[in-house]
Amino acid sequence: MNNELKTRPDKSFWQLWNLSFGFFGVQIAYSLQSANISRIFATLGADPHSLSYFWILPPLMGIIVQPIVGTLSDKTWTRFGRRIPYLFVGATVAVLVMCLLPNAGSFGMAVSTAMVFGLISLMFLDTSINMAMQPFKMLVGDEVNEKQKALAYSIQSFLCNAGSLAGYVFPFLFTAIGIANEAPKGVVPDSVIYSFYIGAAILILCVLYTTAKVKEMPPKEYAEYHNLKETDNESKSNWIHLLKNAPATFWKVGLVQFFSWFAFMYMWTYTNGTIAANCWGVDMTASNATATLSYQEAGNWVGILFAVQAIGSVIWAMVLPMFKNRKLAYSLSLVLGGIGFVMASFVHDQYVMFVPFLLIGCAWAAILAMPFTFVTNALEGYGHMGAYLGLFNGTICIPQVIAAALGGVILHLVGSVQSNMMIVAGLALVAGALSVTIIKDVNKQ
C-alpha cells in the first residue's frame, strides 16, 4: 500500500445528489415490484401457502448478480466509467421487462403458463434491478470521502424513499383518476399495468441524468485516493479469499441484516392478505378471494401503507444523524419497526394502520443507511470495494431466500392466517436489534 494517502476532496451537495439521483428511478421499479408481486401472482391464481415461493427468485438473483457486477466493475474502465455502464445496461433491461411482467395474465395463456411467464419476467426484472442498484452503492464508496459518506448515504436513502413513495401510490392514483382497478379473473388490472409503464419511463430518464452528470475517477486516480497500488486495484479478487479476510464488522452487521431482511420479506409477501382480511373483511381462504373488487382495493391500499412507511422512513432518516451513538440509533430503529409489525397484525381500521407502518418506516430508514456506513468504513484500505459490497449484498439476499423458502411452512404453523406472519416479522426485527450490540463501531464520526 502507498504510505501517503490522498484525501478525496469534499463534494458539493448537488454533486452528492447527482451520484445517487438515478437511484430514485431504480427504487420506483423496486417498489412497484415489492408492493405488487404478491398481488400479481395471487391474481394469476397462486395459493397463499405457495405465495412466498415466488419471492425466492428476486433475492436469489441478487446473490448471483451483485457480486458479479461488483467484481467485474472493479476491473472495468470505459470512457463512461467503471460502475455506470453496468447501471445503464441494468436499467435498460429493467425497462423492457417492466412492460411485460404485469401483462402475464393478459395474453390468453393458461394459468400455469401465465405463472411461468410471470416468473421468468420477475427473474429478469430483479436481475436487472440488482444490476442497476448495486453501482449506486459503489459510487458512494468510490467517490465520497470519509467525512461526507454518512451525508451521501443519507441523500441516497432520501432518494430511495422518495422513489418508493412514488411507486407505491401509482396504482391508487391511477384508480382515483378512473383507470380500471378490476379485471377478469386471472388478469392484472390496468391500474397496476399502467403503473409499471410509467415507472419504466421514469427509471430510464433518471438513469440517463446520472450517466450525463457523473464522471468517475480513472483507475490511477482511484488507486491514489483509496490507498491502493494500481496492481492491487487491478488484481483478480477471489471471493472466498475476500470473505476470509473481511473485517469482523462485515460479519456482525451481516447478522443484523439477516433478521432485518427476514422480517421485510414477510411484510412484502403477506401485507396484501393481511390488509384484505383485516380491513376489507375478505375471506382469504375462499377460491375467488383475489378476483373480488375488495381484494384489489386492499391491494391499492397496501401501496398507500407502503408510501406511509416511506414517509416515516424519510422523517426518521433526518432524526438518525442526531444520535451520537450510531449503535443505539440502529437498535432503537429496529425495535420500533418490530412494534409496528406486531401492531399491524391486530389493527382492523385502514387509517389506524398508518401508525404501525410509520413505525416500520423507522426500521427501514436504519436498514438503508446504517449497514453501509458501518461496512464501508470498515473496508477502507482493503481494496476491491465493489466486490466486497457485492458480497455484502448476500446479507440482504440470503435471509430473503430462507424466509421465502420457509414462508409456507411458517404460515401453516401460525394457523394459515396471513396477519400472524406480521408478528413473526416483528420478532425477527427485535432479534436484529439485540444483534446490533455485538457490532464494534470503530470509526465514530
User: What pLDDT is attached to residue 386?
Assistant: 67
User: What pLDDT is attached to residue 228?
Assistant: 57
281-296 core/surface letters (b: 16 or more CB in 10 A; e: else): ebebeeeebbbbeebb
Give the number of other Cβ atoms within 10 Å of residue 65's Cβ: 23
Cα 375 to Cα 149, 299, 302, 346, distances in angstroms: 12, 36, 32, 36
Please give the Cα distance from 273 to 284 (Å, whole number).
7
Query: CA-CA-CA-CA torsion for 196, 175, 44, 403, nearest 10 degrees?
Result: 70
Q: Are 422 and 266 in contact (CB under 8 A)?
A: yes
pLDDT along the chain (445 residues), means of 10: 62 88 89 88 84 82 75 76 83 90 82 85 84 78 78 82 88 93 86 94 91 78 62 54 76 92 94 94 84 89 93 88 88 97 97 97 90 76 66 84 94 94 97 91 55
Q: Phi, psi at residue 402, to the nearest 5°?
A: -65, -45
Q: Which residue blocks in 3-110 are alpha helix, DSSP H?
A: 13-44, 57-74, 84-98
Q: Are 207 and 80 in contact (CB under 8 A)?
A: no
User: What pLDDT is attached to residue 362?
Assistant: 95
Cα 61 to Cα 210, 270, 276, 388, 404, distances in angstroms: 24, 21, 30, 17, 14
pTM recorded for the entire structure: 0.79
Chain center to CA of 307: 14
User: What pLDDT is attached to residue 414?
Assistant: 95
87-116 core/surface letters (b: 16 or more CB in 10 A; e: else): bbebbebbbebbebbbbbbeeebeeeebbe
Please give the Cα distance from 51 to 17 (Å, whole number).
38
User: What pLDDT is attached to residue 78?
Assistant: 75
User: What pLDDT is attached to residue 1?
Assistant: 41
User: What pLDDT is attached to residue 235?
Assistant: 42
User: What pLDDT is attached to residue 382?
Assistant: 61
User: What pLDDT is attached to residue 196?
Assistant: 94
User: What pLDDT is attached to residue 224?
Assistant: 67
Chain center to CA of 312: 16
